[in-house]
């Protein structure tokens, strides 16, 4: 009887312990994983709105296991700082520009006239393309996982003065424009026929206003309307470059997330990334009209001239970029365009 009593006590202790262990590992009692997510755009921009849409879906479908803590408008630092923090794991996720100081290959998505339509750019900047694969591989080496690329929109030229020969590449435009300090922007602008200067983006508005430069290249019609409409009088939708950001997450952080919750995040991100390219087209039409309504003259480029511009830039500018990206890389990308 004594032995039975001891056995029952041991069994009871074992069962009680099992219950406690079961409770401890139940998902509902697990501490949520909070991910800081950095954004560069203001709250009213659709890129930032996409982050809030992703947050809502992820937190609901993971039943609170994943919490996304959003910090838009460069609250956690500019994109170069954020990228380094994501590499370190001190910031977990972001929707940011990809800084090329760590690897120049992160610029290949900005090759001029990579595609002529939003649908074409979506194909070039989505999983399965040569360009996407190059960017993904480069980020992987840096300890960062690429979730998707977000389409912000085609880039045009905003000017305070009317240029000469606006529809012909290589013909002097009699205008100096600000370019980002990247070979792809400088070479493209100069091959279009503009003189260029590298001015910090934050100083571009005042530089145009005071006549230090005549305009700039690097923003969509939306950016030109929201940030430069008071100092520009002309907008040319060259659509030669495509503005883009990327949803990224630190590799070590990503590995801590269960496969099921990874799928939830990817599904939400994919939905917003796919939507972004269609939205960019509608947005471009909307903000070109807003520029026109404000008094900015739109200089449209007919289809024939646009095709000629694209051919000239691909034949003239791309070879100059071989020293930056490598001939083999550019040949692979060219082959994928056919």
Going from N- to C-terminal start, the domains of the chain cover 33-337
172 DSSP assignment: -
How far apart CA 144 and CA 253 sit, in angstroms, is: 9
Q: What is the structure's pLDDT at 202?
A: 80
How far apart CA 207 and CA 320 sit, in angstroms, is: 28
Q: For the chain, list residues with pLDDT below 70.
A: 1-30
Q: What is the structure's pLDDT at 9?
A: 54
- What CATH number belongs to 33-337? 3.40.190.170
165 DSSP assignment: S
Q: What is the structure's pLDDT at 44?
A: 85
Q: Give pTM, 2 decimals.
A: 0.85
62 DSSP assignment: T
Name the 3-class secondary structure at 178: strand
> Of 89, 59, 94, 58, whose CA–CA distance to 76 is shortest?
94
Q: What is the structure's pLDDT at 26?
A: 41
Distances in whole angstroms, Cα of residue 157 to Cα of each of 177, 218, 224, 300? 8, 7, 9, 12
> Of 310, 300, 270, 299, whose CA–CA distance to 151 is shortest?
270
Residues 6+ apart with CB under 8 A from 93: 35, 36, 37, 38, 68, 86, 247, 248, 249, 250, 253
CB 247 within 8 A of CB 150: yes
Which structure tokens are listed for 213? 């430069």
CB 151 within 8 A of CB 244: yes
Which structure tokens are listed for 271? 């939905």
Distances in whole angstroms, Cα of residue 326 to Cα of each of 100, 139, 330? 15, 18, 6
How far apart CA 51 and CA 38 sit, in angstroms, is: 9
Q: What is the structure's pLDDT at 261?
A: 98
How far apart CA 298 and CA 296 sit, in angstroms, is: 6
**What is the pairing mode between strands 234-250 and 93-96?**
antiparallel
How far apart CA 200 and CA 212 sit, in angstroms, is: 12
Residues 6+ apart with CB under 8 A from 256: 33
**What is the pairing mode between strands 195-197 and 215-219?**
unpaired
Q: What is the structure's pLDDT at 126?
A: 97
């Amino acid at each position: 009887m004594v032995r039975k009593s001891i056995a029952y006590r041991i069994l009871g202790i074992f069962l009680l312990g099992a219950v406690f262990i079961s409770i401890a590992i139940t998902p509902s009692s697990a501490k949520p994983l909070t991910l800081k997510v950095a954004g560069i755009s203001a709250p009213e921009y659709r890129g930032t709105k996409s982050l809030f849409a992703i947050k809502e879906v992820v937190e609901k479908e993971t039943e609170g296991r994943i919490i996304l803590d959003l910090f838009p408008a460069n609250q956690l630092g500019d994109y170069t700082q954020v990228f380094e923090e994501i590499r370190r794991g001190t910031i977990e996720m972001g929707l940011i520009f990809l800084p090329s100081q760590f690897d120049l290959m992160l610029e290949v998505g900005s090759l001029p006239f990579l595609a002529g339509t939003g649908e074409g750019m979506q194909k070039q900047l989505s999983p399965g393309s040569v360009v996407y694969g190059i960017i993904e591989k480069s980020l992987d080496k840096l300890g960062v996982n690429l979730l998707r690329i977000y389409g912000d929109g085609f880039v045009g030229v905003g000017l305070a003065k009317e240029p000469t020969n606006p529809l012909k590449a290589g013909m002097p435009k009699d205008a100096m424009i600000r370019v980002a300090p990247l070979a792809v922007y400088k070479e493209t602008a100069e091959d279009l026929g503009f003189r260029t200067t590298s001015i910090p983006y934050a100083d571009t508005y005042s530089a145009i206003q005071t006549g230090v430069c005549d305009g700039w290249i690097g923003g969509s019609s939306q950016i030109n309307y929201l940030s430069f409409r008071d100092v520009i009088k002309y907008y040319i939708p060259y659509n030669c470059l495509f503005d883009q950001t990327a949803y990224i997450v630190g590799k070590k952080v990503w590995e801590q997330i269960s496969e099921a919750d990874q799928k939830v995040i990817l599904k939400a991100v994919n939905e917003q990334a796919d939507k972004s390219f269609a939205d960019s087209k509608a947005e471009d039409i909307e903000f070109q009209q807003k520029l026109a309504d404000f008094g900015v003259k739109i200089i449209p480029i007919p289809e024939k001239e646009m095709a000629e511009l694209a051919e000239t830039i691909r034949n003239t500018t791309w070879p100059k970029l071989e020293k930056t990206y490598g001939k083999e890389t550019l040949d692979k990308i060219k082959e994928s365009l056919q």
